[in-house]
Amino acid sequence: MNTQILKTITRRPRGTIAHLTVSRPSKLNALNTSLLLSLSSTLKFIESSNKDLLAVVLTGAGPKSFIGGADIAEMASLDSPFAAREFISKVSDACSAVRNCPVPVIARVNGYALGAGLEIAACCDLRIASRNAVFGMPEVRVGIPSVVEAALLPGLIGWGRTRRLLMLGENIGAEEALNWGLVEKVVETEELDDAVEGWLGLLEGNGPLAVRKQKALMRIWEDSSLDQAIRAGVDAFGESFVTDAQGETEPKRMMGAFLKGKGKRS
């Protein structure tokens, strides 16, 4: 299978689901420059060409690896601080494309999630892992620090556990990752697709505009004081009641359906 980002677009009654697969299985789906650029451009194209996009599922090709890290052979060839900055900026750009996607991105972690692969997973909104998944930040073992979106890890797992991963360079299994809060769910390998589908079904039942606003608001929360975050929430709530092209608001439509259903049950 060629090195590429594979995409599958599924049209559903409530909107579109995109499945993206990092495909470089012979190298554990390690990210080289070509894959990094392709991941960023593919995500942006999907967002712009599918206005009814509900969610993106990101995974790796084959049974062994989600993303095994950044390409070590390419990094070993970097011959100057300038070249190193150029390469790591591409890693950060790919991470930013995941974080800035306006809809939830689900990491389907089907094996190794190491280094840049764990950073990509940390950038996703939700993470579900097979029981054989392995997580780690082994950069110090090859003479470099963990950088860029590794900065997200303290917010997920705390400073102590982040230091353990980044300074010791050890790997942890799926159950420990679940206990740490690094992933939200662990299932048997053969149950991984059904579990992802369960989450997609829940997203389909929600207000699509509300979900997009929720993600955007949470991004604001990450960079704001508590007072700023609360004020941003007031604005987001008010914006939810903007009338759409049909002369309705999403809250009115969905709350009306809820109240009608509640009346039928009473």
Provide the annotated active-site residues.
119, 139
Q: In what order do the strands lie in the sheet with 112-114?
A: 65-67, 112-114, 134-136, 171-173
Task: Identify whether the C-beta of residue 226 lies closer than 8 Å to the C-beta of residue 218.
Answer: no
Task: Identify whether the C-beta of residue 133 lies closer than 8 Å to the C-beta of residue 113.
Answer: yes
Other beta carbons less than 10 A from residue 250's beta carbon: 17
Task: Identify whether the C-beta of residue 130 lies closer than 8 Å to the C-beta of residue 110.
Answer: yes
SS3 string of 50-68?
CCCEEEEEEEECCCCEEEC
State how far the Cα of 99 lies from the Cα of 42, in Å rounded to an integer: 14
CB-based burial, 129-139: b 16+ in 10 Å, e otherwise:
bbebbbbbbbb
CA nearest to 147, candidates 93, 98, 88, 81: 88
State how far the Cα of 23 lies from the Cα of 1, in Å rounded to an integer: 7
Q: Which residues contact 182 (CB under 8 A, 6 or more apart)?
A: 122, 127, 135, 156, 157, 172
State how far the Cα of 23 lies from the Cα of 37, in Å rounded to an integer: 14
